[in-house]
Amino acid sequence: MTDHHPFKETTDVNNYATYNKSKEVHYSPYLPPETLGEIFSFFADDDIKSLHSCLLVNKTWCESAAFILWKRPFDISSIMASSELVTVYFLFFSDEKKKSLLTSVPNGLSHLSSDRPALNYLSYLRYVDFKKVYKAVRMWLRTKTLLEPFCSEFKRKQIDLANRIVTELGIIFTTGYARLDRLSLDIRYFEYNPKEDEVDCLSWPCYPGAYVALSDLREFLCGGQFMKNRILHSMAKICKDIEILSIHESAETSPEILAEFIKVQRRLIKFTLTNWSSEILEILSSLRKQARTLKYMELIRCIFPKNEDYTKLFCGLAECRNLQTLKFEQCQHLSTKLMKPLAEASFEKLQTFIIDTETVPDPPTAEIKAIIQNSRESLINIGLNVNLSLYADIMETIATFCPNLLNLSVTIERDSEMQQLITLFRSCTSLIELKIPKKWKLFEVKKSLIELGTALPSTLKRIELDGLKFSHETWDEFLDMCPGSINHFAFNCFSKSIFIKIVEKYGKKYSKLIKNEEMLDLTWLPVQVTVDLMLIK
pLDDT in tens, the chain (537 residues): 344 455 554 444 445 444 444 455 555 557 777 787 777 777 766 677 777 777 777 777 777 777 878 888 888 766 667 778 888 888 888 888 887 777 766 555 656 666 777 778 888 899 999 999 998 988 888 877 666 666 777 777 778 888 888 888 988 888 767 889 999 999 888 766 555 545 577 788 988 888 889 999 999 999 998 889 999 999 999 999 999 999 999 989 999 999 999 999 999 999 999 999 888 999 999 999 999 999 999 999 998 887 766 788 999 999 999 999 999 999 988 888 899 999 999 899 999 999 998 777 888 999 999 999 999 889 999 999 988 888 888 999 999 999 999 999 999 999 999 999 999 999 999 999 999 998 878 999 999 999 999 999 999 999 999 999 999 999 999 999 999 999 999 998 776 678 889 999 999 999 999 887 766 655 555 577 888 888 876
HEC states along 495-513?
CHHHHHHHHHHHHHHCCEE
Distance CA 340, CA 100 (A): 61
C-alpha dihedral sign at 50, 55, 60, 66: positive
**Cα angle: 22, vertex 23, 26; to 5 degrees:** 145
For residue 532, the surrounding DSSP H or E stretch is strand 527-535
What angle do the packed helices 152-173 and 130-144 form, to 10 degrees?
Answer: 130
Is 282 contained in some domain?
A: no
Measured distance CA(356)–CA(334) in Å, rounded: 10
Entry pTM: 0.86
Residue 359 lies in a domain: no
454 in any annotated domain:
yes
305 closest CA partner among 284, 327, 334, 285: 334
Instruction: Check residue 28 and give its pLDDT.
Output: 52
In three-state secondary structure terms, 349 is: coil
Which of 22, 49, 67 is the C-terminal boundary of a domain?
67
Rounded distance between C-alpha atoms, residue 269 and residue 63, angstroms = 33
* Residue among 423, 456, 449, 442 nearest 494 (CA): 442
Domain extent for 465: 427-536
Whether 111 maps to a domain, the answer reads no
- Is 439 inside any structural domain? yes
Residue 323 CA to residue 294 CA, distance in Å, equals 6
Supply φ then ψ for residue 497, to 5 degrees: -60, -40
**Angle formed at CA 203 by CA 199 and CA 205, multiple of 5 degrees:** 150
- Which of 119, 17, 136 has the alpha carbon at shortest distance from 71? 119
pLDDT at residue 9, rounded to an integer: 46
**Dihedral class, residue 249 (left if φ above 0, else alpha if ψ from -120 to 50, else beta):** left
| pLDDT value of residue 2 | 40
Residue 419: inside a domain: no
Query: Around Cβ 237, how many Cβ atoms within 10 Å?
Result: 12
Show which of 67, 89, 114 is a domain's final residue.
67
How do strand 407-410 and strand 433-435 relate by DSSP bridges?
Answer: parallel
Rounded to whole angstroms, the Cα distance separating 381 from 326 reads: 10
Distances (CA, A) of 406 to 323, 427, 435: 18, 12, 11
What is the distance between the alpha carbons of residues 263 and 286, in angstroms, rounded to a whole number?
A: 6
Look at residues 47, 67, 87 and tell me which one is the last residue of a structural domain.
67
| The total number of structural domains that make up the chain | 2
**Is residue 83 domain-resident?**
no
